[in-house]
Structure formats: C-alpha cells, structure tokens
Structure 1
Amino acid sequence: MSVSLPPIEVVPSLPIIEKIELLNHLFEKCQILSAFLLLKLFGADKRYSTYQQLIEDARVYLIDYLNESERRASETGQPINPDIAAIIGAHPRLGASQKLSSHSSQEQKSLQQSSEEERKRLEDLNNLYESTFPGLRYVVFVNGRPRSVIMEDMLQRIQRNDISKERHEAFAAMCDIALDRASKLGAKF
C-alpha cells in the first residue's frame, strides 16, 4: 500500500475523515489524539505552508496540554489526565512483533533483527519501564539506531525515574517520528 500526503495547502479543506486518516499516518492511530489535534490544528481556519509547521504546532499543543494537566494535578492532588497515558500508550512496544502499524514496522526494522537474548532483554526492559511508569509506553525516535543504543537509552530513562520527563520525552519523540514519517510520505519541508 503506497501512501502519500496531500499537498499541505489542501489539508484545511479536507473532510474530517481524511484529516483523521492524515493524522493516523503521521502519528500512531489514537482517537483521543486525533480528536485533540483536529480541534487544535484545524480550528479557526488555520493554514500551514509546510507539514513541518503543522507538526511543530502539534508539538506545542501537546506539550502545553501536558504542562497544564500536570499543573492541575499538582494543584488539586488529583491524578494527571488519563488521556495523556492513552495518547502515549497508542505507540507499540519496542521490538513487538505484532500490532505494529505499517509505519512502526518500517521504523523498528533495525530492532527486529536480533538474537533471542537481545529480544528477551528488550522485553524485560519494556516490562521494567512499564512497571516504573504505570500507564506509559517507552516512546523514542528509533531512526535505524541499533538495538543496543535504544536499550541503553531505555535503561537510563528507567534509572532516572522521572515520570514527568518521560511524558515530555514521549510527546517530543511522537512529533520527531511524525516529522520523519511526513518526509517519507513525500512532504516538502
């Protein structure tokens, strides 16, 4: 299946279903994320001259949303908005062999070619990460980096044990991934 992005100039006039499909190609499929970004990116007759501009706006909106949610949770003593974890959790586990979108499958190709010992270590790190940061999934821009580098980064982030930084890094990585996907899908920057 060959996918290409429509010219950025026509995106604001696309039907909602096509905007959602576009967002699902740039980001992992997530109804909560799509609904949030539809309102933020395409409200009030917003126009973009590049996909990079659209994705960087998404980055700002996501980080603002996260900061506001963390601020509100800190002030009220209530848990952070569960939609944050749902958005981050839309990403597949690293090294997972099933339930990968076609985009994630290509992005994680370097992680699929490894020994049984490496696969087991990555699975153990995923489990440790998810028990250290309940409700989150480790999200990183793989970009062909070897499994050893990714696993070392995951271990460092687990040892840092800062859930707020994890949420911020996950949102930043999601947008870095979206930029890479956009370029691979023919977007002009």
Structure 2
Amino acid sequence: MIAFLKGKLVHREPTFVIVDVQGIGYQLQISLQTFSEIKEQENVMLHTHLNIREDAHVLFGFSSIAEKKLFQQLVSVSGVGPSTAIIMLSYMNSNELKSAIVREDAVSLQAIKGIGGKTAQRVIIELKDKLKKESWEETQPAISLGVHNTIRNEALSALLTLGLPKAAAEKSIDTVLKKSGNTITLEDLVKQALKNA
C-alpha cells in the first residue's frame, strides 16, 4: 500500500495532479480542498489512497491525513464510491462536511452533485456517531470541530480583511467562543472579537 508520495509537482489541475517522485510521475485524483492547499507549492507531500478496480488502479491524494481519513470513511458507506467522496470533499471542506453529517443536515448533503436523499441518510446514519466521537476526542472542551469551525473560519476571514493580525484575531475569536458556546451569531462574534483584539 502506498501511504504517501513526496516529490515535485509537475502538473496541477483542480481535479488531479502529477507528482514526480525520483523520475516517476504519479497521477493523483484530488479534491478542490487539496488543490487550494497545494496549488502554490513546488514540492508536495500527499497522503494517498489506492483504489483498485477491474479496469484501473486509481491513486487519490490528500493534503492532510484528516481529509484522507474522512475520504476513507465516506467510501466505507454503501453507495458512496471514491469519485463521489472526492466530489463531496470538493463541495465542502472536511470540517464543513463533518459538521453537516453530525448535525444530520441531509439538505446540505443533497445539494452535492450525485448525492440523493437515500445516500445522504446512509452517510448520516453510518458516520454520525463515529464523527461525533472523533470530534469529542480531538477538541478542547469549549470548541467543537463542527459548528464552531465554520463560524470561526468566517469570523477569522472577516477580521483579517479588516486588517487584524492572524494570531491576534484567532486568539480573540477563541476567547469569545469559549464564553458564548454555540449561541453566538457570526455578526456578534466579529463585533465582540474586534472589541477584544
């Protein structure tokens, strides 16, 4: 099994890249999430998943182990193949996708091309508890991975646009989130974080 590839990025497109590893060019299917992470890089390390079919061996690449793990969890669900999982990870980033599953937000999942009502329900039923357990283990008490992360990223983007340094903006946002829990709106979060910064 190929766990990762490290080499020179010789060709890049939003759906696939070619990585030169000591003179051998590996073509990897990627999500838009991975593309946006690596598009400016010359040398990359991509975590990989090899999908073996009767007619082809397809290598998928991911900029993070977390994205690779979520991809593998998605393809474990009946009716979700590797291509569908890549589309899902291109439509939403890993945290947004996890959040939608944990919140049982079938409407958001069905907005993804190729995901119907039954598939959305299967993904939620099969992965919700696993992802809840993971986010509980990975996070500190007050900040959850799912809902908080989307609002946190949007607030951070707003504060950076307003000219705040990234470190100060992140610290301020986290302070406000710890005090407020899940009840704060994006607008209030930005306002309070600006006061605290």
TM-score of the two chains, using structure 1 as the length reference: 0.29
Relative contact order higher in (CA < 8 Å, ≥ 6 apart): 1
Larger Rg: 2
Q: Which has the higher helix share?
A: 1
